[in-house]
């Protein structure tokens, strides 16, 4: 039980006023106070679109409520005495999430790893864009500031200030890096429609004006802010396309266009992961959005921007650790189901299960090496030593795991009949009898 | 079974797999980066010595 937590309190029924207050203070809409999540503050005027309709309140839409609860529970855990010291740390006089801590040595990197593993385990590794990931990007930005400094000290201070802002307010972020729909035979600056790719179209006293499309902003409908920069280099004469910045999700002119909301009509009994962990991807349309000057980290500088992917160093570490947890989830469910069906005694099942075990063990060893061979990055932050080989192997392992699950569980994966059918008095008894497999109750097989 | 099916069969599961594959960019680019970063000359040197010693 959390300190001061009122059991009757429903975090989805917080006052709308919280959004205004949070915005005025520059706080996270997910900021917790005494264990109470202010997710209702996501009603902040953000322009979320789905199926030709605008969603005015993501907190009550069934496409989001399950994931909101998952995230709310995780943020609440930061106040739980059992988890507080695992998830948060004192840094420059403030209590911040370990996700935002720029580690100063190997010990602090190990403590960050413990926090990453907690977030991963709580989401079964199924949320690639859990808030830890983008927080680690801001750690990277903080370290990269020493490079920015050589070009423009003001931008470097913007980067450091953004780390202060994001960490102290525990912001939930997304990022948008990809130029998606354009003529690949032409250069960025030579598209028939120059607005197809996000670019600078003007300047005001308050900031730069940007226009165009940028994807793939996973979790954007539920995030506080978005980090925007391109994942492909710009040529020297493409300065208007060379910008890196951060922006609140309710910035005027920013349109968030959602992909299918898998959880919208999903039955939690039949789609237990979908209804808890769907981190909706979105395309962002910037319709003459003003980016405040103090939120710009690179401006019209293709040469500097070419190095920005460096900031992914710590986020990649987070991704690798999360993926191990995800593979452990595959292994765990495969072990349970093969045991129930008594398939675990067959050589073919054991060989398939061992391939999952093999990949998990190899990736654990990679992460052990990444941590123990850590180094002090040029900006002074302690960094894991990650080889591209580790990441390539993890992707191959993920693909292998999917095929392994199919090989192990075969046609039973094409689920017909589920836990929710048990509730019907007419069909329920039949489901209970015929879907039991090796389990003592049908519920444990179907669920 | 619902958990297993949601891991690999549903739109959620399929999207999750694709996300893992593309989250860090195209995997072949990563393979190229690995090739370009790999700077251990030892294997080739050892084999060169062996070939020379073969006479």
What pLDDT is attached to residue A6? 34
> What chain B residue is nearest to A232 in terms of C-alpha separation?
B25
Taking an 8 Å cut-off on Cβ atoms, the answer to whether B7 and A333 are in contact is: yes
pLDDT above 80 (res A41):
no
- Residue B48 contacts A where some CB pair is shorter than 8 Å: no
When pLDDT is averaged across residues B13-23 and rounded to a whole number, the result is 94
pLDDT above 60 (res A20):
no
State how far residue B26 is from chain A, nearest Cα, in angstroms: 10
Residue A96's DSSP bridge partners are A89
Phi/psi at A185 (5° precision)? -85, -10
The closest alpha carbon to A138, from A92, A98, A105, A179, belongs to: A98
What pLDDT is attached to residue A381? 98
Taking an 8 Å cut-off on Cβ atoms, the answer to whether A447 and B2 are in contact is: yes
CB A39 within 8 A of CB A238: no
Cα(A221)–Cα(B21) distance, rounded to whole angstroms?
23
**List of chain A residues whose C-beta atoms are within 8 Å of the C-beta of residue B37:** 387-388
What pLDDT is attached to residue A434? 86
**List of chain B residues whose C-beta atoms are within 8 Å of the C-beta of residue A387:** 34, 37
Residue-wise pLDDT tens digits, A66-79: 999 999 999 999 99
Residue-wise pLDDT tens digits, A321-337: 999 999 999 999 999 99
Choose from A120, A274, A416 for mutation: most chain B CBs within 10 A. Answer: A274
**List of chain B residues whose C-beta atoms are within 8 Å of the C-beta of residue A262:** 10-12, 15
CB A258 within 8 A of CB A49: yes
Nearest by CB to residue B20, choosing from A316, A398, A445, is: A398
What pLDDT is attached to residue A447? 62
pLDDT above 60 (res A16):
no
- Residue B39 contacts A where some CB pair is shorter than 8 Å: no
Phi/psi at A254 (5° precision)? -90, 120
Residue-wise pLDDT tens digits, A84-128: 999 999 999 999 999 999 999 999 999 999 999 999 999 999 999
Residue-wise pLDDT tens digits, A334-361: 999 998 888 889 999 999 999 999 999 9
Taking an 8 Å cut-off on Cβ atoms, the answer to whether B1 and A218 are in contact is: no
Cα(A131)–Cα(A359) distance, rounded to whole angstroms?
26
**List of chain A residues whose C-beta atoms are within 8 Å of the C-beta of residue B28:** none
Nearest by CB to residue B17, choosing from A231, A316, A398, is: A398
| DSSP 8-state secondary structure symbol assigned to residue A29 | T
**List of chain B residues whose C-beta atoms are within 8 Å of the C-beta of residue A406:** 8
Residue-wise pLDDT tens digits, A404-427: 999 999 888 887 667 788 889 999
What's chain A's Rg over C-alpha atoms?
A: 23
ipTM given for this complex: 0.92
pLDDT above 80 (res A276):
yes
Q: Which residues contact A19 (CB under 8 A, 6 or more apart)?
A: A29, A40, A41, A42, A43, A44
Q: How much of chain A, in percent, has pLDDT values that exceed 70?
A: 89
What pLDDT is attached to residue A248? 97
| Residue matched to tokens 């392992």 | A397
| Residue matched to tokens 């981190």 | A279
pLDDT above 70 (res A36):
no
The 3-state secondary structure of A109-156 reads: HHHHHHHHHHHHHHCCCCCCCCHHHHHHHHHHHHHHHHHHHHHCHHHH
**List of chain B residues whose C-beta atoms are within 8 Å of the C-beta of residue A413:** 1, 4-5, 8-9
What pTM was computed for the model? 0.91
Taking an 8 Å cut-off on Cβ atoms, the answer to whether B34 and A387 are in contact is: yes
Of A24-28, A173-177, A256-260, which range is least confident?
A24-28
What pLDDT is attached to residue A413? 87
pLDDT above 60 (res A19):
no
Residue-wise pLDDT tens digits, A205-214: 999 999 999 9
State how far residue B20 is from chain A, nearest Cα, in angstroms: 6
What pLDDT is attached to residue A1? 27
Phi/psi at A243 (5° precision)? -145, 145
Task: Give the helix ranges, DSSP H, for A272-346.
Answer: 274-277, 302-305, 313-340
When pLDDT is averaged across residues A48-74 and rounded to a whole number, the result is 94
Q: Say how far residue A361 (Cα) sits from the centre of its chain.
A: 24
pLDDT above 90 (res A388):
yes
| Average pLDDT across chain A, whole number | 90
CB A130 within 8 A of CB A173: no
Q: What is the helix (H) or strand (E) element at residue A290, kind and residue range?
A: strand A282-292
Taking an 8 Å cut-off on Cβ atoms, the answer to whether B12 and A262 are in contact is: yes
What pLDDT is attached to residue B3? 93
């Amino acid at each position: 039980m959390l300190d001061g937590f009122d059991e009757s309190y429903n975090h989805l029924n917080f006052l709308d006023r919280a959004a205004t207050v949070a915005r005025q203070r520059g706080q996270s809409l997910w900021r917790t106070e005494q264990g109470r999540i202010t997710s209702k503050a996501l009603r902040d005027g953000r322009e979320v679109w789905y199926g030709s309709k605008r969603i005015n309140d993501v907190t009550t839409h069934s496409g989001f409520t399950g994931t909101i609860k998952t995230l709310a529970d995780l943020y609440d855990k930061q106040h739980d005495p059992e988890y507080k010291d695992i998830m948060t740390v004192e840094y420059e006089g403030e209590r911040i999430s370990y996700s935002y801590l720029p580690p100063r040595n190997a010990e602090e990197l190990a403590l960050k790893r413990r926090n990453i593993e907690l977030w991963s385990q709580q989401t079964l590794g199924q949320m690639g864009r859990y808030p830890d990931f983008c927080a680690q990007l801001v750690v990277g930005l903080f370290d990269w500031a020493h490079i920015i400094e050589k070009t423009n000290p003001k931008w470097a201070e913007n980067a450091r200030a953004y780390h202060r802002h994001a960490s102290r307010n525990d912001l939930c972020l997304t990022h948008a890096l990809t130029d998606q729909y354009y003529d690949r035979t032409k250069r960025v600056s030579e598209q028939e429609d120059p607005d197809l790719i996000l670019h600078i179209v003007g300047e005001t006293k308050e900031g730069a004006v940007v226009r165009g499309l940028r994807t793939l902003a996973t979790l954007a409908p539920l995030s506080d802010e978005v980090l925007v920069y391109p994942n492909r280099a710009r040529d020297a004469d493409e300065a208007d396309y060379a910008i890196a910045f951060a922006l609140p999700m309710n910035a005027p002119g920013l349109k968030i266009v959602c992909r299918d909301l898998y959880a919208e009509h999903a039955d939690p009994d039949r789609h237990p992961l979908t209804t808890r962990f769907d981190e909706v991807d979105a395309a962002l349309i910037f319709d003459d959005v003003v980016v405040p000057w103090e939120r710009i980290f690179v401006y019209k500088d293709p040469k500097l921007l070419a190095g920005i992917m460096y900031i992914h160093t710590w986020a990649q570490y987070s991704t690798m650790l999360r993926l191990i947890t995800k593979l452990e989830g595959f292994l765990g469910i495969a072990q349970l189901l093969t045991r129930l069906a008594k398939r675990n005694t067959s050589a073919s099942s054991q060989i398939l299960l061992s391939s999952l075990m093999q990949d998990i063990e190899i990736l654990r060893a990679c992460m052990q090496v990444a941590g123990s061979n850590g180094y002090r990055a040029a900006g002074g932050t302690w960094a894991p030593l990650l080889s591209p080989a580790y990441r390539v192997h993890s992707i191959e392992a993920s693909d292998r795991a999917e095929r392994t699950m199919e090989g192990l569980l075969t046609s039973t994966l094409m689920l017909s009949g589920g836990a929710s059918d048990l509730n019907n008095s007419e069909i329920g008894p039949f489901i209970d009898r015929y879907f039991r497999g090796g389990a003592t109750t049908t519920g444990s097989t179907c669920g | 079974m619902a958990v297993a099916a949601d891991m690999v069969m549903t739109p959620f599961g399929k999207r999750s797999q694709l996300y893992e594959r593309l989250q860090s960019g195209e995997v072949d680019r990563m393979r190229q980066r690995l090739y370009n970063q790999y700077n251990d000359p030892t294997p080739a040197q050892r084999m060169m010595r062996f070939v020379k010693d073969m006479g």
